[in-house]
Structure 1
Amino acid sequence: MTEAGGKLFNGRYRLIEPIGIGGMGKVWRGRDELLDRDVAVKEILFPHSMPLSERKVLGQRAMREARSAARLNHPGIVTVHDVITCDDAPIIVMEFIDGSSLAQVIEREERLAPAEVARIGAMMLEALGEAHAAGIVHRDLKPANVLLTGNRVIITDFGIASLAGDVALTASGVLIGTPAFMAPEQVDNLPVTAAGDLWSLGATLYAAVEGRPPYTGTNLMAVLAAMIAREPDPPVHAGSLAPILTGLLRKDPAERLDTEQASLALAAVTAAQDGQPPLHTAPSRPWAPPSASKASAWPASERPHDGQLGDLDTATRRHRFSPPEGPGQGRNGDAPASAQPAAARGIRSLSRRRVLLLAGLGAMAAAGVPAAVALTRGPESSLSRPGQWTLAATLTGHTWDVEAVAFSPDGTTLASSDREGTLRLWDVTARKPLVTLTGHTAGVHAVAFSPDGTTLASGGEDKVVRLWRTG
């Protein structure tokens, strides 16, 4: 189904053109030839590394969730028309929305006025309330999943996004979601409730009014590190919307604004701004990536790329999509040095799951050291005299450039990873390899041990975080 347009599916849905793609989904503009209307056809694409048994389970879950979402009937929620299968993969047929996503509006406008954002938020909250009342949690709410057309604000991917949340951390250690808009409890692999959607709502509105998400970083690990180590920066452009954003972005779900509180607060902001212009809706037109010379809502060094964690990109509208990153793109290095001490100070009070998801903040960079890891030894009393350090050993075995290394908490084991996606564990005392770990399909740029040394986390270009346990 993903090879070419024009295919007639299920004797009814004609594929016209691809309009969006993400880590776990591809969207086509299609035509319902029975009812003579445009539709959006979304195909779920499982990660290549996912075992067949898991694909079947997730396929069944996707069907169940999409059928649940089809029960929703609200102008602020994209309508699910049909749920079918192709080669054991779920196919979701949805309402085709001809409009701009909130992410595209932010990209064009850089920031939106607080009153406008409050009106968008109020309409989003009404739609979320409808879904939550039906027992459906979105779990991947973000500007790319919010469409603006006419006077409508439409949330997309209900049910389908629930699939991505349900496999937030599977047995194979694959984390799926969008880190810049993911609730802290979702990062912790805790049950995600309606409160998680409210956190993501706050992050989405924060991005709209500030021009950037509440947490940014040069890469995925830096974003997660910022999230678990500190509170979001106070908004500076939000005006009367600021206390609402702060209330929605409380890390503890019990302290977060609930739906009723947020609704009343947003209504108060919009009521106080009755003289403001109407809801922002840009004219519909094919969207193209901004030129390099145009200022972006997210600076290139901080922009949270869609699909970093297997993001299910929503594109149920008539817009072109950005071409996928080429080899080597999106690798922006580790977290800034200034961010690392703050993250390190916060680690002691964090759960082990959060520490694992840092996946490399404590790792020593070794990129550019082809096929070998060098151990050096220096005086215990000082790390500031590099001239006194001597080479202790050279460990060989990698066949590609070494990307990252990390010591276990007790210092007896060293983990290293390379551009091919291979991890190796070494006995530091004996200077011998212990085990080779495979499973990543692309280069691994970050590795980190849990505080007790029983679990190793790894992450890289295949957009997944894997957890490896001893024993």
Structure 2
Amino acid sequence: MTERARSIVGPDYLVAGRYRLQSKLGGGGMGAVWLATDRLLNRDVAIKQVLSTAGLSEDEARVIRDQIVHEGRVAAKLSHEHAIAVYDVVLEAGEPWLVMEYLPSRSVAKAMALADALSPIEVAQIGAQVADALATAHAAGIVHRDIKPGNILVADRGAEVGKVKLSDFGISRGAGDLSDEPEDVITGTPAYLPPEVARGAQPTAASDVFSLGATLYTAIEGHPPYGIEEDNEVIVTRAAMAQIIPPTRSGALTQVLLHMMEPAPQRRPTMAEARNEILTAVFGPGTGPYILGAPVRTEDGTIPAWAARNSAAGLRSPHSTPLPRPPRANAPKAPAPQRKPSFTLSSLGPNAAPLAIAVGLLIGLLILIVILIAVM
């Protein structure tokens, strides 16, 4: 029954008697994600189908099912405007499906394929917003464990164009959860691994801080902090040794990124501190209300070309203003405007007044002589 059900999954397939599949949005090692219609609430949703249990033993399949259910339970604890909401976990043909908020979007990874690299001012907005969501997650005891460009979505159409949301808490874990993973299994994506995780430690909130810093670094520099290498073992070795390539394009974000990617976890900021450091470095203190909750925009307030589809590119966001910028330290004052020289008595020196009186009397006497001659 399960094998037959799997074989016919596709457009128009009805999941749990409620969710009608429309089209496949994407997939990965964990499963496929579909766009579906919630027939009960008449709204679009994203629904994740488990694909990887085929051919596994019952024990292995149960681990996968439990992981999906765990993802739903963990993510459902998090409610934040910059995190994809989880609505439901349902069973179909004995397999769990995760029902999530649907955000028409492209990931930061896809944005980089369009723009090669993003500007520091745009990446700062993405970073502050994702850090805000993760600060809330950490406060609830949730560690994401797999922050990367592919898991950060930016709405690319509709009323929310430019809005940033963090997705995929599929390998997230509550702080009090017991890990059933072997000690030699490394969790996460090699290019964004913090050194302690690459060396075999379990991820913590500090690990999320590093991975977010590495993700922002990649968006700006155009390559991950450990460089590009097809062999993942080489990348993991570089990560374990904290061999980070110094950033060259990050501008005002440079020191913040290096702080987030400190090799020692205890030297990194908390996620809330990282958010504040990003905001202060690029936009100035107290600018959170202008950045958090707002769409990503360029310095003049328009939606970046990479963040919008076709006609929306370059349009001014309807509810945003030009971005705030911090004052430059010790900025030179603009020179005073130059006035054209003018003739005044004071310019003639201290004897100017008597001289003027004498000249006036002489002119008056000449005029009187002319008048008398004319009368005679």
SS in structure 2 of the partner of residue 218 of structure 1: coil
After TM superposition, list the pairs within 5 Å mapping 1:203-352 onto structure 2. Answer: 203-215=214-226, 216-272=228-284, 276-278=299-301, 280=304, 282-284=307-309
SS in 2 for 1:91: strand
146, 151, 171: which one aligns with 1:145: 151
Moved more, 208-217 or 264-273: 264-273
Q: Per-residue CA shift, 1:6-40, capped at 9, x if unaligned?
A: 11111110111112111112111111111111111
AA in 2 matched with 1:267? L
RMSD over aligned CA atoms reads 2.8
**Compared with structure 1, are the counterparts of its residues 90 and 176 closer, same or farther at alpha carbon in structure 2 (3 Å cutoff)?**
farther
Shift in Å at residue 173 of structure 1? Answer: 6.6
Q: SS at 2:307's partner residue? A: coil
Amino acid at match of 1:221: E
Match of 2:212 in 1: 201
User: Which 10-residue stretch deviates more, 41-50 or 11-20?
Assistant: 41-50
CA contact (8 A) 1:167 1:174 kept: no
1:100 aligns with 2:111: no
Selected match of 1:186 from 189, 197, 205: 197
Partner of 1:301: none
Which of 166, 172, 176 is the equivalent residue of 1:155? 166
The separation in 1 between residues aligned to 2:53 and 2:262, in whole angstroms, is 32
**Which stretches in structure 1 are left out of the alignment for 5+ residues?**
286-471
Letter in 2 for 1:207: T
Q: 1:188 to 1:46 in 2, by over 3 A?
A: farther
Match in the other structure for 1:15:
21
Aligned residues of 1:75 and 1:152 also touching (Cα < 8 A): no
- Structure having the higher strand fraction is 1
Alignment of 1:414-433 (within 5 A): none
1:294-345 CA deviation, whole Å, 9 max, x = no partner? xxxxxxxxxxxxxxxxxxxxxxxxxxxxxxxxxxxxxxxxxxxxxxxxxxxx
- Paired letter, 1:201: L
1:30 alignment partner, SS class? strand
Note closer, same or farther for the CA distance 1:147–1:258 as it changes in structure 2 (3 Å cut): same
Normalising by structure 1, we get a TM-score of: 0.55
Q: SS of the counterpart of 2:300?
A: coil
What letter corresponds to residue 282 of structure 2 in structure 1? T
Q: Is the 8 A contact 1:83 1:91 kept in 2?
A: yes
Partner of 2:80: 74
Question: Aligned pair in 2 of structure 1 residues 35, 260: CA closer, same or farther (>3 Å)?
Answer: closer
- Greater helix share, 1 or 2? 2
The TM-score with structure 2 as length reference comes to 0.68
Letter paired with 1:161: I
Q: CA deviation at 1:87?
A: 4.2
Partner in structure 2 of residue 388 of structure 1: none
Q: Distance in 1 between matches of 2:163 and 2:248?
A: 28
Per-residue CA distance 1:346-386 (angstroms, 9 max, x = gap): xxxxxxxxxxxxxxxxxxxxxxxxxxxxxxxxxxxxxxxxx
Give the counterpart letter for 2:269 in structure 1: L
Structure with larger Rg: 2
Is the contact between residue 88 and residue 100 of structure 2 (CA under 8 Å) also seen in structure 1?
A: yes
Identity across matched positions, percent = 36
Assess, with a 3 A threshold, how the Cα gap between structure 1 residues 18 and 222 changes in structure 2: closer, same or farther: same
- The alignment partner of 2:134 has SS state of helix
